[in-house]
Amino acid sequence: MTPELKAKIDNIINSHKLVVFMKGTKLMPQCGFSNNAVQILNTLGVPYETVNVLEDYEIRQGIKEYSNWPTIPQVYLNGEFIGGSDILIELYQSGELPQIVEVALAS
């Protein structure tokens, strides 16, 4: 990963409390896993940003290397990688996600 790409991804992650790197947008997810992430976050009713990796091949590949996580979507909260769709579902179903997000957004 180039230093420029790392800086670009750092900037995106650090500019938003909650950001999802996904295929498509929150209004039009382009894959089922990205849709799952959007639906969960919409259910929580919290503000979040999305980055459409389909619009930027460099970010699409770079984010996988950045997080050492092979799949998209990827969710970042307060600059920390939370996980992908499966982890978000697990956290939501266990009741942990609303607490984690609430604390992070309040800080």
For residue 106, pLDDT beyond 90: no
| Strands of the sheet with 74-77, listed across from one edge | 49-52, 18-22, 74-77, 80-83
pLDDT, tens digit, 9 for 90 and up, residues 17-41: 999 999 999 999 999 999 999 999 9
pLDDT, tens digit, 9 for 90 and up, residues 35-63: 999 999 999 999 999 999 999 999 999 99
CATH of the domain at 96: 3.40.30.10
pLDDT, tens digit, 9 for 90 and up, residues 77-102: 999 999 999 999 999 999 999 999 98
Domain of 48? 3-106
Q: How many domains does the chain have?
A: 1
Cβ neighbours, 10 Å, residue 50: 22
CA distances to 9, 38, 60, 72, 75 from 6, in Å: 5, 25, 12, 17, 17
